Amino acid sequence: MKIIIIDDDSFICASLKTILQADPELEVAAAGTSGAEAVALYNQFLPDVLLMDIQMKGMNGLEAAEIILKKHPDAKILLLTTFSDDDYIIKALRIGAKGYLIKQNAEVIIPALKAVISGQSVFGGEIVAKLPLFLEKPDKPDLSGHDISEREMEIISHIAKGLNNKEIADILFLSEGTVRNYISVILEKLDLRDRTQIVIYYYNSL
């Protein structure tokens, strides 16, 4: 699994490289210190995942990610930052980043990389807790063309608000098993992998 690391702090860059190289499944193909380098190195190496800092001088990580994703829509980019800034989270969701993690949680970086490589979206606990706040909008997303029923739309909206299966079942007077079945159908219709991706899909569709 080929990884590129981008961070304008050379010490953090070296530390991340040491952490990742301890795992035999991961290969650090290259490292850089700027958004411009991120774009150039991604085009050169086409890594499985780009692990990139957000706050950098000049072109920041979000700007670099947007450029990369326009050219490589399937690029897997995992963003790192020192704090969970709401504007950064919203931007990361909108451009299609596969994950957003807080740097202090170093122990989750390798599992997060592997999850992203396997096709999942990964957001730290601090980020997931904030997602429902970003979704408090009166408009419903337009999911026409995906054959989403009214009941499925209700379940999607409840998932987006952060409700678990039991809470959704209680509100809609369904069994938890029925809710799980609905969610499985929704994931298949929207070609998604998990509940977090449903929330992100809902948000991007508003």
Local structure of residue 173 (DSSP, 8 states):
T
Give the pLDDT confidence of 147-193 residue by residue, as tens digits.
Answer: 888 899 999 988 888 888 999 999 999 999 999 999 999 999 998 88
**How many CB atoms neighbour CB 138 within 10 A?**
5
Question: Is the pLDDT higher at 92 or at 58?
Answer: 58
Average pLDDT over residues 68-72: 94
What is the pLDDT, as a whole number, of residue 138? 44
What is the residue extent of each domain of the chain?
A: 2-130, 135-205
Smallest CA-to-CA distance from 163 within 128, 188, 115, 137 is with: 128
Distance separating alpha carbons of residues 40 and 44, to the nearest angstrom:
6
Question: Is the pLDDT higher at 180 or at 203?
Answer: 180
Above 90 in pLDDT, residue 99? no
Q: Which residue has the tokens 């020192």?
A: 82
Amino acid at 45: F
Report the C-alpha dihedral over residues 145, 147, 151, 154, rounded to 10 degrees: -30
CATH class of 2-130: alpha beta
Distance separating alpha carbons of residues 175 and 138, to the nearest angstrom:
28
Smallest CA-to-CA distance from 20 within 33, 32, 31 is with: 31
Compute the mean pLDDT over every residue in the chain, rounded to the nearest whole number: 85
Quick one: what percent of the chain has pLDDT higher than 70? 87
Give the pLDDT confidence of 102-147 residue by residue, as tens digits.
Answer: 877 778 889 989 988 888 878 766 565 556 555 554 455 667 677 8
Highest mean pLDDT, choosing among 77-86, 177-186, 191-200: 177-186
What is the pLDDT, as a whole number, of residue 103? 79
CATH architecture of residue range(s) 135-205: Orthogonal Bundle (1.10)
Give this prediction's pTM: 0.66
Task: Please give the C-alpha separations between residue 183 and each of 124, 136, 160, 161, 176, in angstroms, as whole numbers.
Answer: 22, 21, 12, 15, 11
Average pLDDT over residues 17-46: 95
What is the pLDDT, as a whole number, of residue 130? 59
Q: What does the buried/exposed string (b/e) look like for 27-36 if buried means 16 or more CB atoms within 10 Å of the residue's CB?
A: ebbbbbbbbb
Average pLDDT over residues 196-205: 79
